[in-house]
Amino acid sequence: MSKAGIIRASAFFGILALLPLGVKPQWVINLLIFTLMYAALASSWNLIGGYAGYPSLGHAAFFGFGAYFIGIIFENSVGNGYNPFFILPLVGLCAAIISIPIGFIAMKTRKDVFAIVTITLLFMVQTLAYNWRGLTGGAQGKGVAVPPFDPATFGRPYYYVMLILLLTAMSISMYFRRSKIGLSLAAVRADEDKAHGVGIQVTTVKIIAFALSVAIAAMVGAVWGYYEGFIYPQFAVDPLITIGMVLMTFLGGRATLWGPVLGAFILVPAQQYFSYEFGATQFYLLAYAAIFLVIMLVLPRGILPTLTDRIRLKAKIVAEANK
């Protein structure tokens, strides 16, 4: 990362780290938590859907896995309240291990079929969550023990853990941009047959990207489940969660470091605002969709790639004019 990039990242995360200390209303903290949640989810989805070009539609299955993991283990007690956070690496590791055989089978298909396979996985996991009542509670849901946090600052631990998960997702994304794995994924995204022909271990790099991607999604889901306090299958394994992270990634720009984060910071507050304005009428979904459509019509490759292309084109025109 360049010096300017380090400064931008330090300023961004520094401001976010200090933000809860100056914000009192709990609804603002709640909005920030969900914004960070979707920023981390979008950044995780970008690892497979952006860099590899394989549009996974089943990430909500692993999000739900993480939520139920916490709910099952900490149904009766969470100790001092921080114990669920300490096992997040275990949640991610378990999700990654489970994803390897799934990815090995799913990656035998090409991109469009892969999307169908992964969304089928999502609905299978959702059905399992509804029907495995002894483990998940079925439609009645699974409760998580209430942590003994101070009510005045209840959301802060969740906020900072979500911030750490966002930093983790972006760090892996940055590594992909600079590493041999990232170059291999870029070759796969451009032309998989040619990538295979030049000796790239196509299946291996795709599975690595998939495993890391779903591991972060599972950890985010675990924090979400703990924060919500009660886990229902229709919310924990919800296709709209996957759709949200996909839209945010496309909006900001696929295969970019900051694109998914930018998309989340635009769409999550917009969704909350329109939900408040239109309430139970559901018109907020139309307004939410309209924002996305307008931006994608004006900036078809996403905000960051399109703006970068226009800035470069303008600079080139100016340079040629000055010759």
The candidate with the shortest Cα–Cα distance to 97, out of 219, 211, 243, 242, is 211
Give yes or no for a contact between 145 and 76, defined as CB atoms under 8 angstroms apart. Answer: yes
- Domain membership of residue 272 (yes or no) is no
Structural domain count of the chain: 1
In a domain, 10, yes or no: yes
Check: CB of residue 44 under 8 Å from CB of residue 104.
no
pLDDT tens for 169-186 read: 999 999 998 899 999 999
Q: Would 260 be classed as within a structural domain?
A: no
CB 26, CB 20: distance < 8 Å:
no
Please state the φ and ψ torsions of residue 227, each to the nearest 5 degrees.
-65, -45
Residue 278, pLDDT > 70, answer no
321 or 37, which is more confident: 37
Residue 237 pLDDT: 96
Give me the torsion for CA of 144, 146, 147, 148, rounded to 10°: -160
DSSP per-residue string spanning 9-31: HHHHHHHHHHHHHH---HHHHHH
- Structural domain for 164, as ranges: 3-238
- Taking only the tens place, the pLDDT of each residue in 223-266 is 999 999 999 999 999 998 998 999 999 999 999 999 999 999 99
Task: Note whether residue 202 is domain-resident.
Answer: yes
Per-residue pLDDT tens digits for 48-93? 999 999 999 999 999 999 999 999 999 999 999 999 999 999 999 9
Q: Which is more confident, 25 or 36?
A: 36
Closest CA to 42 of 312, 308, 304: 304
pLDDT score of 71:
96
* Cβ within 8 Å of residue 263, ≥6 positions away: 42, 247, 248, 249, 250, 251, 252, 253, 302, 303
- Token code pair at residue 228: 């919500």
In a domain, 253, yes or no: no
pTM: predicted TM-score of the whole model, two decimal places: 0.93
Is 310 a member of any domain?
no
How far from 198 is each of 184, 187, 322, CA to CA, in Å?
10, 10, 42
pLDDT in tens, 132-161: 999 999 999 999 999 999 998 999 999 999
Is residue 285 domain-resident? no
Q: Is residue 136 situated within a structural domain?
A: yes
Give the Å distances, CA to CA, from 80 to 68, 83, 221.
20, 7, 21
Angle between helices 180-190 and 156-178 (to 10 degrees): 80
pLDDT tens-digit series, residues 96-125: 999 999 999 998 887 889 999 999 999 999
